[in-house]
């Protein structure tokens, strides 16, 4: 998997990838509780080859969202994901302050 330059807007990248004929999914942070690494409205775009751009969280959460996005690209069925952890496991999955996030993943056509 490859993450390209963080200076470009993920939605612009998604539009370019779709125009180039790539299969693409967009993950969007739709809600946060407590401390979360990225605010609501943050985007991560993923293509069918596992290339990605942007961020919805970090750590293991980002990897899980990318894996789910590949399934969404294949099936065409959008998914709502929720990640939240108890304080003792927060560091391990990338939510170091014990926050929770909801991420909506959809395929772009």
Q: What is the DSSP string of 54-88?
A: E-SS-HHHHHHHHHHHHHHHHH---EEEEEE--HH
Q: Taking the domains of the chain in order of start, what are their residue ranges? A: 10-108
pTM: 0.83
Q: What is the DSSP string of 9-54?
A: -HHHHHHHHHHTT--EEEEEEEEEESS-SS-TT-EEEEETTS-EEE
Q: Calculate mean pLDDT across residues 97-102.
A: 78
- pLDDT per position as a tens digit, 4-62: 544 589 999 999 999 999 999 999 999 998 878 889 999 999 999 999 999 998 777 89
């Amino acid at each position: 998997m490859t993450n390209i330059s963080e200076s470009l807007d993920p939605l612009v990248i998604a539009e370019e990838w779709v125009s180039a004929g790539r299969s693409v999914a967009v993950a969007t942070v739709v809600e946060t509780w407590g401390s979360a690494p990225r605010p609501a409205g943050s985007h991560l775009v993923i293509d069918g080859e596992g290339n990605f751009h942007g961020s919805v969280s970090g750590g293991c959460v980002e990897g899980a969202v990318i894996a789910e996005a590949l399934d969404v690209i294949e099936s065409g069925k959008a998914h709502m994901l929720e990640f939240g952890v108890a304080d003792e496991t927060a560091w391990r999955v990338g939510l170091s302050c014990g926050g929770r996030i909801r991420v909506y993943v959809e395929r772009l056509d």
